[in-house]
Structure 1
């Protein structure tokens, strides 16, 4: 086995994925970084990871396409020879008008589930042989607080994240005791994703959410990556759990 640990992060170009790649690199992992469309962001993140001492591999793949996923995993196996960590972070959402069910495009519904749910399963399934070659392997999935309680997010996104919550628990049961599987459920997160969701009301609504949060701010992608790393490297008797990262907001409302 190589002296360095090995990881795959899907959706690793920007946001939570980028922070996860860099956190893993700092912790001594070589990192395979998957992206779907953000080629420039992926190369930028990989370059930063290399500056931190990591060997990197950048791989374009649509995680909803099983054939592409299998090819990606074969490339990673050839390059790294196994994995200690898998971060299933690739995700997408749909557009809609809040409380207007007719505004949902069912093609977007299907695409959201294909990436967020089927993609998470397909990547995990294809990674199992590589994880079994690793030392104390673990998987972390990106869920969301909206998969645990209702909110204004698009229905297919919320429902898909609820499915990721269940999938995490079911995979933990199926892959134990060799492979642990957990998930993180971030609350309202600073940055581009919520800017797109909230539009011109971003500053006002995020400020209100921060004031209503016991820790008096909203979560960042680095906060999420820190928790992911803890679940991957430690917590050896924890599997099938969903860790909420929202500064205590849901526990106080």
Structure 2
């Protein structure tokens, strides 16, 4: 049975951008499928919060790098919602090896980052296409990064994978139009646990420095990013193949 409310899948939705996007979409009238790889309790908390906002919410465990798991995930979504109107390809991973340690990076690490960030994004998009084509306003938003557009102090496989997301976003926009719009967001340094993990004890000092150099005088939050994600999905009907930078003007002015 097809539900009347639009439905969205958000991958990597147990925290950060994925969580904020799921809740923002729920508040905008979407039912939501909360994908996660391992954080079962956190995913269920997001689903509970989405329900309080009026959405129907399901949690779906799947490693987006696993093609069979992705296909099973979409079988569940079709069974539960009977439709799909939006996908937020947010699942992502990185490694702890800094770019200064060229020889310390293992190819196993490299392959895992690309498997999740690039292959996973493509697999989810491909599996979603048939359901999305049934929507009159289908939209995909991919999570890239400003380090996919310009050099930055991020590990090599992460930066390279986000550059691949940028390229694939544009290619997919051409391949899936006119039925499905495909865009990407490229956040800058974001407040929260992702950057805390990356910066460690330097988090407060470096985030404060970045905020001072940003025209809007603060670093981006997950909620800022979610606002743009939802805008790309619910409006901007003639925008596709674009990469929207969300960094308070930092990369445009430095």
Q: TM-score, normalised by structure 2?
A: 0.98
Q: Deviations over 1:106-161 (max 9, x none)?
A: 10100000000000000000001110112210000000000001111100000000
Q: Offset of 1:182 from its aligned partner?
A: 0.1
The aligned runs of 1:206-225 (5 Å cut-off) are: 206-225=207-226
Mapped to 1, the partners of 2:135 and 2:240 lie a distance apart of 17
Moved over 2 A (4+): none
Match of 2:186 in 1: 185
Match of 2:204 in 1: 203
**Unaligned 5+ runs, structure 2:** none
What SS does the aligned partner of 1:86 have?
strand
Q: CA contact under 8 A between 2:14 and 2:42: conserved in structure 1?
A: yes
Q: Deviations over 1:168-191 (max 9, x none)?
A: 000000000000000000000000
What SS does the aligned partner of 2:32 have?
strand
Q: Offset of 1:105 from its aligned partner?
A: 1.5
Match of 1:74 in 2: 75
Mapped to 1, the partners of 2:99 and 2:140 lie a distance apart of 33
Match of 2:7 in 1: 6
Mapped to 2, the partners of 1:196 and 1:38 lie a distance apart of 17
Mapped to 2, the partners of 1:251 and 1:95 lie a distance apart of 28
Q: Offset of 1:3 from its aligned partner?
A: 2.6
Match of 2:102 in 1: 101
What SS does the aligned partner of 1:251 have?
helix
What SS does the aligned partner of 2:97 have?
coil
Q: CA contact under 8 A between 2:93 and 2:116: conserved in structure 1?
A: yes
Match of 1:230 in 2: 231
Q: How many residues are matched?
A: 253
Mapped to 2, the partners of 1:110 and 1:82 lie a distance apart of 33
Match of 2:43 in 1: 42
Q: CA contact under 8 A between 2:136 and 2:179: conserved in structure 1?
A: no
Q: CA contact under 8 A between 2:99 and 2:156: conserved in structure 1?
A: no
Q: TM-score, normalised by structure 1?
A: 0.99
Q: CA contact under 8 A between 2:113 and 2:158: conserved in structure 1?
A: yes
Match of 1:248 in 2: 249
Q: Deviations over 1:71-93 (max 9, x none)?
A: 10011011111111100000000
Match of 1:22 in 2: 23
> What is the root-mean-square deviation in Å for CA atoms of aligned residues?
0.7
Match of 1:145 in 2: 146
Match of 2:162 in 1: 161
**Unaligned 5+ runs, structure 1:** none
Q: CA contact under 8 A between 2:21 and 2:229: conserved in structure 1?
A: yes
Q: Deviations over 1:31-77 (max 9, x none)?
A: 00100011111000100000001001100000001000001001101
